[in-house]
Chain A
Amino acid sequence: MRARLPDRAGAIERDGVRVAFEIFGDGEPALLLVPASPITHARSWKGIVPSLARRFTVVTTDGRGTGRSDRPHAPECYAPAEVTADLLMVLDAAGVDQAILVAHCHAVPWALRLAADHPAGVGGIVAIAPGIASAPPYPYAADAERQWADLLDAPNGWSMRNRSCWRRDGGYRAWVEFFFGQQLPEPHSTKQYEDTVGWALDTEAEAMIAEREGRAAPPAREAEALCGRVQCPVRVVHGSDDRCQPVARGRRLAELTGGDLMVLKGAGHLPQSRDPVKVTRLITEFADELTGAPMRTTTWTRGPCRRPRALYLSSPIGLGHARRDVAVARELKRLRPELEIDWLAQHPVTAVLEAEGEHIHPASQWLASESAHIASEAAGHDLHCFQALRRMDEILVANFMVFQEVVEEGCYDLVIGDEAWDVDYYWHENPELKRGQNVWLTDFVGYLPMPDGGEREAFLTTDYNAEMIEHIDRYPWIRDQAIFVGNDEDIVPRTFGGDLPAIRDWTTRHFSYPGYITGFTPPGPDEVAPLRAQLGYRDDELVCVVAIGGSGVGRALLDKVVAAYPLAKKAVPELRTIVVTGPRIDPAGFPGRAGLELRGYVHRLYEHLCACDLAIVQGGLTTTMELTAAKRPFLYFPLGHHFEQNFHVRHRLDRYGAGTCMDYLATDPDLIAARIAELAGKPVSYRDVETDGAARAARLIAELV
C-alpha cells in the first residue's frame, strides 16, 4: 500500500505522446521531481514524497517511456527539447508558475536546460547524482558507450549496456539486474534493489533504446556552457560510492553553477531510495533557504521550566500492544507522577487510548495507516508478515518523518516505542537525529524464514537480522533501554541465520526481561463464576468464544468455525458459541444458525475470554497469552506464512504448556467440532503468567527520567 495517494493525477499529451503526472499537497514552494526516465519512474521518489508533501506542493512525473506514460520507440521523441517541453506542460497543468526541480542522474541536464531557457519557471535545482559531462565518465561506462551499437558475442557487466544485448531475450533484464546491483553498494539494500529492478522492468527494451539514442546528452564543452547559463540556486547531492556518475561530476557541476555540494559518504547512486530521510531533509533545507523557513506562532519553554515529557508510540499492527502500553504508562505515571505522556498513534490504537483518556498528539493525524497496509497484505488465512513489513517501507519512512518533527518540536525527555519499527530503524540509520532517551519494546526478536520461502527468504531474513545486529553494535547509545516483553525462555532456540549468533544469547546481552505484560489481571479461581454471571453465561452451558482480533484478517477462519458449529452442537448439546467478528467484518455476512451468536465489536473482550469454556483464536501473541494467563482451554490457528505466529508465539505457548495449535489448511469442520467436544470446559494446567510485567517494565523506564 502507498503511504500517500496523490491529491490529483493526470497526463499531458504532446504530439500524441502522453506523459503522466501526480500532484501531492498544496504548500509553497512547489517541487517538481524529475526521475531518470525511462529506466525508472515517479515511484522512485516514494521514500520522500509523503513527508515533502506535508510542507510543499509536490509534482511528480513518470517521464516519457515508462510508468503510466506512453512508450514511443522513435529516438527523436526523447530529444531534450521534447522532455523539457513535457516538464513545462506538466507544471502548467499543475498550475505551478515556479518550481524547485529535483532531478536524478541523466534527468539533471533536463532540469538545467529548463532553468536556463525558462528562468522564471525554476526557483532552484536539487541535482541528485547528476549525470552530466561536467567531468569524465567512469572508463567502464565510456567503453560501453563506444560499443553501444556493436553486436557483442557474450556481453557481461557494463558491456551489457548495449543495444543488441537489450534486444536479446532476457538481455535487458540481465542488464537491469547487473546495473542496480552496482548502484546500491550499501549493505542491506535488498528492498531498494527489488524496487528499482521492478520499476526498470515497467518499461520495454525498445523504449530504453530509443531514449538512449535520442537523449543527445550535452558533451563536455556544451555541458559547461549549459551550467553557465543557469542563474538559479543549485544544490548537488552525490554519493561518494556512486558507480554510475563519478562524484567529480557533481563537484564540477556545483562549481560551474555556484551551487553547494553535499557528498553523502558511503552512499551509492540512489540516495533518495537508500537514505530517504537525509535526502528529504536536504531538499527541505534547500527550499527553506530559498524562500525562508516559515515563521510560525509557537511556544518554546525554557529548559529548566519544562515538566518531564514522554512520547509513547504503540504499534497499530494488532490491538494487543495498546492494552499493554496503557498498562505500562499507568505504572510509569505512578512512579513519576510529574511525567506528561503524549501518544503518537493511529487507529485502532487510538480507539483504546481515547477510551482510557490518554492524550493523543495531534500530529497523529498525519500517520499513514500501518494496519490498513497489513490488512491489504492478507489473503484468506494467510499473511506473510516479513514481506508485508518489507513492503511497508514507504509507510515507515513517511511516519518516521512525522515522528521526527514531533520530537524536534516537542522537547521530549523520553521516547517509548513499542515495536515502533520506523523510529528504531531510522534513528540507527540517521543517528544524529536522536532526541531524548529512547526505550525500545518488543515481544519477539529475529526474523525467521518460512520453510517454503527457500534460500531467498532465508537470505533475506538473515540480512535483516544482520542489519539490526550491526545497528546495535555500531550505535549502542540509540536504545537507552531495550525491553523484551517476556522472559529469556520465551525466545526461540534458534539463530539469526547464517553465522549470526543465537537469538536468545544475543537478546539476553542487549535486553531486559520484565516478564510478560498482560495489561490486566486475570480473574482468580473464585472470580470466574461472578464474571460469568455478569456476562450472562449460565453454569449449565459451555461457552465457546471465537475471536479474530481487530485487523479484519481472519474471515476465512470464521467461515470454517461457523461451518463446524452444527457438528459441534450435535456432539455437545450444552454448547453456546459466540463469534466476535471484530470492527471490520460485518456479522450480518454469515449464515444464521440456531444457537450461534454473531457480534461485531465487543468491549472488554478479554473478560469474555477469561470466562469462557473454550476459545478459538488466531495465533497472535496478545490474545493467546490472555487465554494462557486466564487458564482457559483454546485452539489457535497461526496465520499462514506469519513467522511470528508460527515460530515465536508458538514457542512461547509451548513453554507455558498452553493452547492447542491448529493448522488452518489441514483442518476441516469435523476436526474443529471434535476438538471443541474434546476440550470445552476441561481443566488445564498452564504455567503461571506473571501479573507484574507492566510494573517491572515501568521501573526500567523510570530509571531514565
Chain B
Amino acid sequence: MRARYPDADGIVVREGVEIRYERYGQGRPAILLLPAWSLVHSRHWKMQVPYLARHFTVVCFDGRGSGGSDRPADASAYSDAVFASDALAVMDAARIGSAVLVSVSRGALWALRLCAEHPDRVLGSVFIAPTARLMPPLAERRVERFGEVIDDPVGWQTYNAHYWKTHYPEFVAFFLGRIFTEPHSTKQIEDATGWALETDGETLTAADRGIERCDAAATRRLAARVACPVLVIHGTGDAVRGYGEGEALARCTGGALVTLEGAGHFPHARDPVRVNLLIKQLADRVRR
C-alpha cells in the first residue's frame, strides 16, 4: 500500500510517446519531481511525495523508458531537449504554471535546461547528487567502454550496451550497490531493483545513447543563465558521481550547497527526512 495516492493522474502524448504523470496535494508553490534516468520510475520519490504533498502541489512523472510511460526504441527519443519538453508538457497537463524543480542525478541536465531556457516556469531548483559533467568521472569509472564488446566485464565495465542485452539484471545489482553505499540499505536496493526490472537493457541503452554528450563548458553556459534560487545536495559517499560535482554545480549556479557527510547517490531514498526538510526549506523561500 502506498502512504498516499495521487489526487489526479493522466497521460501526456508527445509525438506518439505516452508519458504518465501523477499529481498530489494543492499547496503553493508546485513542486515538479523530475525523473532520474530510465532505470527507475517516479516511485523512487515515494519517501518525498506524502510529506511534500501536505504542503505543496506535487507533480511527478515516469520518464520515457520507465514505469507507466512508453519505451521508444530510438536513442533520439531520449535527448535532453525531449526530456525537458516532457517536463513542460506534464506541467501543462497538470495545470502548473511554474514550479520548484527537484532532480536527482542525470535529471540535473534537464533541470538546468529548464532553468536556463524557461525561467518563467521555474521558481527554484533543488539538485540532488547532480550528474552534470562538470567534473571528470570517478577514477574507478574510467574502465567504462559503453559501446565496445568486453569479455567477462567486471565492476564499472558492466556499464556496457552489449552486457545489458544479456545480463541486465546483473548490471542492475552492481549499479544499485554503487548507488547505495550506506550500510543497511537492503530495502532501498530491493525497491530500486524492482523498478529497474520493469524496464530492460535495450531501452536503457537507447536512453543512455540519447543523452547529449555535452561537456563541462556547455553545462557552465547553462548554469550561468540560472537566475532562480538553487540548492545543491550532494553526499560525500557518492560512488556514482563524485561529491566534487555538487560543489562545482553550486559554485557555477551561485547556489547553496548542503553536504551530506556519508551519504551515497540516492540520499532522497536513504536519508529522506533530511532531504524532505531541505526541499521544503527552498520551496518556502520561493513561495512569496
Task: Mark A residues whose CB is within 8 Å of B.
Answer: 288-302, 304-305
Q: Is B285 an interface residue (CB 8 A)?
A: yes
Q: Are B259 and A298 in contact (CB under 8 A)?
A: yes
Q: Are A290 and B257 in contact (CB under 8 A)?
A: no
- Measured in the bound complex, the distance between the Cα atoms of B184 and A301 in whole Å is 16
- Measured in the bound complex, the distance between the Cα atoms of B255 and A289 in whole Å is 20
Instruction: Return chain B residues, CB-CB under 8 Å to A296.
Output: 256
Q: Are B259 and A299 in contact (CB under 8 A)?
A: yes
Q: Is B182 an interface residue (CB 8 A)?
A: yes
Q: Please name 9 further chain A to chain B contacts, defined as beta carbons within 8 Å, in addition to the given A295-B256, A301-B260, A301-B261, sorted by A numbering.
A: A288-B284, A293-B285, A297-B250, A297-B257, A297-B258, A300-B258, A300-B259, A301-B262, A302-B271
Q: Are B284 and A305 in contact (CB under 8 A)?
A: no
- Measured in the bound complex, the distance between the Cα atoms of B260 and A301 in whole Å is 6
Q: Are B263 and A302 in contact (CB under 8 A)?
A: yes
The 9 closest A-B pairs by CB, nearest first: A292-B285, A305-B262, A301-B261, A295-B256, A302-B262, A299-B259, A297-B257, A297-B256, A292-B284
Residue in A292, A297, A298, A302 whose beta carbon sits within 8 Å of that of B287 in the complex: A292
Within residues 213 to 256 of chain B, which ones have a CB less than 8 A from any CB in chain A? 229, 231, 250, 255-256
Instruction: Return chain B residues, CB-CB under 8 Å to A289.
Output: 284
- Measured in the bound complex, the distance between the Cα atoms of B259 and A301 in whole Å is 8
Residue in A292, A293, A299 whose beta carbon sits within 8 Å of that of B288 in the complex: A292
Q: Are A304 and B262 in contact (CB under 8 A)?
A: yes
Name which residue of chain B comes closest to A305, CB basis.
B262
Q: Are B262 and A295 in contact (CB under 8 A)?
A: no
Q: Contacts A290-B288, A292-B287 given; indicate if A304 touches B183 (C-beta within 8 A).
A: yes
Instruction: Return chain B residues, CB-CB under 8 Å to A291.
Output: 285, 288
Q: Nearest Cβ distance between residue B135 and chain A, in whole angstroms?
A: 18
Q: Are A292 and B286 in contact (CB under 8 A)?
A: yes
Could you say which of A289, A294, A297, A304 has the most chain B C-beta atoms within 10 Å of its C-beta? A297
Q: Nearest Cβ distance between residue A122 and chain B, in whole angstroms?
A: 14
Q: Are B285 and A300 in contact (CB under 8 A)?
A: no
Residue in A288, A295, A299, A301 whose beta carbon sits within 8 Å of that of B231 in the complex: A295
Within residues 154 to 180 of chain B, which ones have a CB less than 8 A from any CB in chain A? none
- Measured in the bound complex, the distance between the Cα atoms of B259 and A291 in whole Å is 24
Q: Are A295 and B261 in contact (CB under 8 A)?
A: no
Q: Is B186 an interface residue (CB 8 A)?
A: no
Q: Is B274 an interface residue (CB 8 A)?
A: yes
Q: Contacts A302-B263, A305-B261, A305-B262 given; indicate if A295 touches B288 (C-beta within 8 A).
A: no
Q: List, sorted by A's number, 23 A–B pairs whose CB atoms are closer than 8 Å.
A: A288-B284, A290-B288, A291-B288, A292-B281, A294-B285, A295-B281, A295-B285, A296-B256, A297-B256, A297-B257, A297-B258, A298-B259, A299-B258, A299-B260, A299-B261, A300-B258, A301-B262, A302-B262, A304-B182, A304-B183, A304-B184, A305-B261, A305-B262
- Measured in the bound complex, the distance between the Cα atoms of B277 and A293 in whole Å is 12
Q: Is B11 an interface residue (CB 8 A)?
A: no
Name which residue of chain A comes closest to B182, CB basis.
A302
Q: Is B282 an interface residue (CB 8 A)?
A: yes
Name which residue of chain A comes closest to B247, CB basis.
A297
Instruction: Return chain B residues, CB-CB under 8 Å to A299.
Output: 258-261
Q: Are B260 and A302 in contact (CB under 8 A)?
A: yes
- Measured in the bound complex, the distance between the Cα atoms of B231 and A293 in whole Å is 13
Q: Nearest Cβ distance between residue B260 and chain A, in whole angstroms?
A: 6
Q: Are A295 and B260 in contact (CB under 8 A)?
A: no
Instruction: Return chain A residues, CB-CB under 8 Å to B260.
Output: 299-302
Q: Nearest Cβ distance between residue B250 and chain A, in whole angstroms?
A: 7
Q: Are B261 and A298 in contact (CB under 8 A)?
A: no
- Measured in the bound complex, the distance between the Cα atoms of B220 and A535 in whole Å is 67
- Measured in the bound complex, the distance between the Cα atoms of B271 and A304 in whole Å is 11
Q: Nearest Cβ distance between residue B85 and chain A, in whole angstroms?
A: 29
- Measured in the bound complex, the distance between the Cα atoms of B283 and A289 in whole Å is 11
- Measured in the bound complex, the distance between the Cα atoms of B277 and A295 in whole Å is 12
Could you say which of A288, A292, A297, A302 has the most chain B C-beta atoms within 10 Å of its C-beta? A302
Instruction: Return chain B residues, CB-CB under 8 Å to A298.
Output: 256, 258-259
Q: Contacts A292-B285, A292-B286 given; indicate if A302 touches B258 (C-beta within 8 A).
A: no
Q: Nearest Cβ distance between residue B219 and chain A, in whole angstroms?
A: 20
Could you say which of B184, B271, B274, B281 has the most chain A C-beta atoms within 10 Å of its C-beta? B281
- Measured in the bound complex, the distance between the Cα atoms of B183 and A304 in whole Å is 9
